[in-house]
Structure 1
Amino acid sequence: MKILIIEKSEVCRFILDQCLTSLGHAFHHASDTEEALRYFQSHEVDFVFIDVDFGRERAFEAIKSIRTEHKSDWFPILALSSETDDEAFANAILAGADALLSKPVSRQRILTQVIALERIYITRQNLLVAKKDLIAANLALLKLAMYDEITGLANRRYFEETLNKEIKMAKRESRHLSLLMCVIGDITQPHETNEGEARSRCLNAIAAAIKCISSRPTDFVCRYGDNSFAVILPNTYEEGALHVAKRIHESVESVLAKTSIGWPATPLTFRIGLATYDGQSQTMDDLIHAANTTLRNCLEKH
């Protein structure tokens, strides 16, 4: 542990140094409360010894300041005093100390007190590691639940949550919302040795081609199905959405032109359907259905 010692007595400092050195702890001395508070601001501290005899009020204020400024941090504060009556003990605890040890200090008491607090420290460190591991595991699960493993885009579940939220927002704020549904033909390459790997490469390239066009922070691109993608365009009129659709079409067509080399059958196709929220009582399914019904002709009819 990293221990801060605020002690005026040379004898007490010597005993504390011996005890802490024998237990393998690092420590730093501060000559007064002002120096201690400055040190506390810029260094990591796990444990504090503070002599309250050289200025009881200042010492108690220092303890309160440390507790106030570091509410979320855990560290024990042990007060040292030649006065150990009930009132002195109560004042130290109420100021924020965890214990009051009598002076002159006893090596055995110092050692056993530090060893007891070491157990808490080690347990706390183990809990912190477990908490970090749990957070990492939860993030990994969230990624699996909300993102497509192949393309890294949001998956259908995340898409549906976002579209529902955007429809409610568009209704509440009386603004437009457009949806693009993008469908690619069969992208399985007949003569590819590793078919799954080739398909993943193709899907990644198409996802990147769509993502680079829908560049606003509010735009939302997802992998909707096996061979389909969806793009949510908040605060976007039909004309603006059509412009985005045309740019996506050109971007993906360029990718498919390279991907289709060596295909003996019909070249790959790419279709986009468009629907715009009209402010009526449209649901998510209504908007998706409206976009899907224009898959064949949304670009041609404009």
Structure 2
Amino acid sequence: MSLHYQAAPLTILVVDDQNATRVALAADLDRAGHRVLEADSADWGLQLFERYRPDLVLLDVEMPDKDGYWAARAMRSAEPGGWTPIIFLSQRSQDADVWKGIEAGGDDYLIKPVTPMILHAKLRAMQRLSHMRQRLVAVSEELRQANAQLHELSQVDPLTGLMNRRGLDGRLQQEIAAARRSGQPLTLMLCDVDHFKRYNDALGHVEGDQCLRHVARQLKDLCRRPADCAARYGGEEFALLLPNTPRSGAMTYARALLRTLAQGQLKHPDSPIAGHITLSGGITTCVPDETTTPEGLLMRADDALYNAKAYGRNRFFSYEMQMDTDEQRQALRGDR
């Protein structure tokens, strides 16, 4: 008796050294609408399993040379992370035989001769289990993607689209470790918008937000290498993390940023420094060693930022070079 049901057809691998049994099973499964693969040995069954990845395996236990238990273990080893239902077929009916089959990687154990009704009932059950597992895998992947998106969003500043303070802390830790391994210099720059409160008071917070977005774009445009990173440190403060950048290169970055802001001419109606938006910044550069910490670099860059403000703002100060961008520009002019 063959049973037809609405579930999708399966690709079923039948492994049995007895031709009559194998042919009869294949014919019954074929009438039920399934695609059938046949093997008369454990080795051949394993090859078909690896080649076609069937939906289900009907596996005889007693076969010459290598038995069904060996075949089941080999099939399980060939599908890391996956799952293909395996049903053992055997004339052995002792509890120990069933236990041995399950331990070898089987999912069910049927005693020969198997009636078509029992066989198709088992196929339906395995099909349901397979569908449930596929759904669980799909849901797990959806959750993984959702968690990844949430993690990414938790590290992005919603106003500017730059990395936020939390993201910067993690990235700084990674770059310190990478620079320590490679022996390359690492530069951290902290900067903030000069007299930003006056800007907000003069033009309002909506325009203030637009100003911060404008500065963020300039910083992001300055990050031309994949490893360069711009972040919003908090309020009107920003950070640039520049791996493999020496002290002179950091000064070049800073001068380019100030020049870009001056050329952009985003007007500041109440600035005592210039008619446009300006930045003050602190720079620290080092080749990290075992004593280098994110907190230490941030503190040093913040101290340098304080010095830039003390020297008149609209400039970047470097502790390591003991000069600011204005002094460097004058020195370069003197060289000419």
TM-score, length of structure 2 as denominator length = 0.69
- Rounded to whole Å, the distance in 1 between the matches of 2:220 and 2:190 is 13
- What amino acid is the match of 2:304? A
Q: Which has the larger radius of gyration?
A: 2
- Counterpart of 1:30? 38
For the Cα contact (< 8 Å) 1:184–1:268, is it kept in 2? yes
- Rounded to whole Å, the distance in 2 between the matches of 1:44 and 1:17 is 18
Query: Residues 205 and 123 of structure 1: is their aligned pair in 2 closer, same or farther, counting only changes over 3 Å?
Result: same
CA deviations 1:194-249 (Å, max 9, x no partner) are 947x945x655543432343334443321222333211223433222112222333
Query: Displacement, 1:13?
Result: 1.6
Query: Displacement, 1:67?
Result: 0.7
Query: Residues 42 and 10 of structure 1: is their aligned pair in 2 closer, same or farther, counting only changes over 3 Å?
Result: closer
- Rounded to whole Å, the distance in 2 between the matches of 1:56 and 1:89 is 21
Query: Residues 165 and 88 of structure 1: is their aligned pair in 2 closer, same or farther, counting only changes over 3 Å?
Result: closer
- Counterpart of 2:13? 5
- Counterpart of 2:240? 231
CA deviations 1:144-183 (Å, max 9, x no partner) are 2111224432111121333355557767987643221233
Deviates more, 1:158-167 or 1:71-80: 158-167
- What amino acid is the match of 2:36? H
- Counterpart of 2:320? none
Q: CA RMSD in A?
A: 3.7
CA deviations 1:6-46 (Å, max 9, x no partner) are 24422122233445x4xxxx543233455543443344543
Aligned runs of 1:139-288 on 2, under 5 Å? 139-164=148-173, 166=175, 176-184=185-193, 186=196, 195=206, 199=209, 203=212, 206-254=215-263, 256-257=264-265, 260=267, 266-277=275-286, 283-288=296-301
For structure 1, the residue ranges without an aligned partner over 5 or more in a row are none
For the Cα contact (< 8 Å) 2:262–2:276, is it kept in 1? no
For the Cα contact (< 8 Å) 1:178–1:274, is it kept in 2? yes
Query: Displacement, 1:68?
Result: 0.8
- Rounded to whole Å, the distance in 1 between the matches of 2:276 and 2:223 is 25
Q: Which has the higher contact order (CA 8 A, sep 6+)?
A: 1
Q: Percent identity at matched positions? A: 26
For structure 2, the residue ranges without an aligned partner over 5 or more in a row are 1-7, 316-323, 329-336
Query: Displacement, 1:80?
Result: 1.7
